[in-house]
A = this chain, B = another copy of it.
Amino acid sequence: MPAIKDLSQLFKDIDDFAEEHFSEEKIQQWCNWGGMPPEVIRAFYQSNLGSYISAENLNKKDSFIYCAALIAHLTRKAGTTLPLLSEVLSFVLLSSLQQYTSPKVFNELVCKDKRIDFCEAFSEPGAGTSAFAIRTEVSSENGQIYLDGEKSFVTSGEFMSRALVLAHDTIYGQYDGGISLWLVDLNQAGVTKCSINTIGQEMTNPSAIIFNHVLLDPDYRIKTQGDLDSVLKRQFNLGRLLVCASSLGLALAAMDDAVHYASKKQSSGKYLYALPQIQEKFADMLSKIKAMQALILNAANLAHKNDSEFVLATSLMKYYVPRAASDVASQALQIFGGVGYTNQIRVSRIWKDCRGNQIAQGTDEVMVHSISKQLIRSYDSVLQTL
């Protein structure tokens, strides 16, 4: 567990950043736009906060504790899912892929101002996060290489000019079990983007991208040499960590608002917080938040290892945290009564945001199998008494 002092400094930096750049009015605007303004993202990278996701810091043993805390606290301040989550994940992917990538290609993955310049086109309609079910296909025709297929839930797909695309590939995929990873220019012929209207998480603005016989340049294949599966698995597990950190931030924001409301608002001459039924909710919400924190810290502490213990920790966390966050948000909404069901408070937005994380990066259902497999395999090491 990191020293409390360290995270305190991080939280203070985030408080300062949020104080300067966030307000509920701006957040609502950004949700309507479907993204954060570039100047705010730039300010993020130029502040102290940017350093936490620099390449050198991402290699440190405890870097993911900081990443998780960063996402959790920033999300708590914003009261909505932030696209910075995928920025951080893309930096993580970048650092994993660097060794397999030529300098030319690598340079195209980042902007001049050091920001990420690609989106991750991994998911497909009906395939979820499983690499095995991918149907986007690499094929050759008259000596040329083509890409066909459809990707969905590509975060920030609309804003990026390039995508890392995961494809079924019988030509180059032999070392990676029949799949391969390509950097694809999204401005070329045959690429169609369309926005996906989700019912929450509006700033993440996911797209579907259709590839209709898009010409590929073999130089832009990431030469993963048999490591692709392991790179993807790590990426998914770290994605789960940050999604859960975001869920925690959402739950805390809902709790903040509900406690604040219950300590100001009266009903029949009594403060809400003094009513036993409200107290029941607070006890339940608080115990869920504490459990969420413990499971996230547990996973973050193992993140530098990437072994089966880390997989169990992230699966267990992903199984529990997003559902618990939805529940916390729903109880907070209920405390507000009728107003809770309107746009006048941010808890209603938080409640909708939370729901998405029960699906993102692997549903609760997918986690169950993973947990049980690891549990049986290494029961003794896993279940220490305290």
Contacts and interface: CB of A to CB of B under 8 A. Distances in A.
A152 B338 contact: yes
Contacts of A125: 338-339
A282 B372 contact: yes
A382 to B, nearest CB: 8
Contacts of A376: 259, 262-263, 273
A175 interface: no
Interface string A107-133: 000000000000000010110100001
Interface residues of A, number: 93
A252 B380 CA distance: 11
B352 A287 contact: no
Contacts of A352: 199, 352
Contacts of A69: 385-386
A374 to B, nearest CB: 10
A355 interface: yes
Nearest to A275: B276
A82 to B, nearest CB: 14
Interface in A333-364: 333-334, 337-344, 348-349, 351-352, 355-356, 358-360, 363-364
A133 B337 CA distance: 15
Contacts of A358: 334
A286 interface: yes
B277 A198 contact: no
Contact of A283 (B340, B360, B368): B368
A348 B248 CA distance: 23
A268 B125 CA distance: 14
Interface in A235-258: 245, 248-249, 252, 255-256
Nearest to A293: B386
A352 to B, nearest CB: 7
Contact of A255 (B259, B343, B368, B383): B383
A283 B316 contact: yes
B133 A268 contact: yes
Interface of A: 1, 7, 11, 65, 68-69, 72-73, 76, 123, 125-126, 128, 133, 152-153, 196-200, 245, 248-249, 252, 255-256, 259, 262-263, 265, 267-268, 273-280, 282-283, 286-287, 289-291, 293-298, 315-316, 319-320, 330, 333-334, 337-344, 348-349, 351-352, 355-356, 358-360, 363-365, 367-369, 371-372, 375-376, 379, 383-386
27 contacts: A11-B384, A125-B339, A153-B338, A196-B344, A199-B351, A245-B386, A262-B376, A274-B372, A276-B276, A276-B368, A277-B368, A278-B372, A282-B375, A283-B319, A286-B371, A287-B316, A287-B319, A290-B291, A291-B294, A293-B386, A296-B386, A297-B386, A337-B363, A338-B359, A338-B360, A341-B355, A341-B356
Which are the 4 A-B pairs with shortest beta-carbon distances? A294-B294, A291-B291, A279-B372, A276-B276
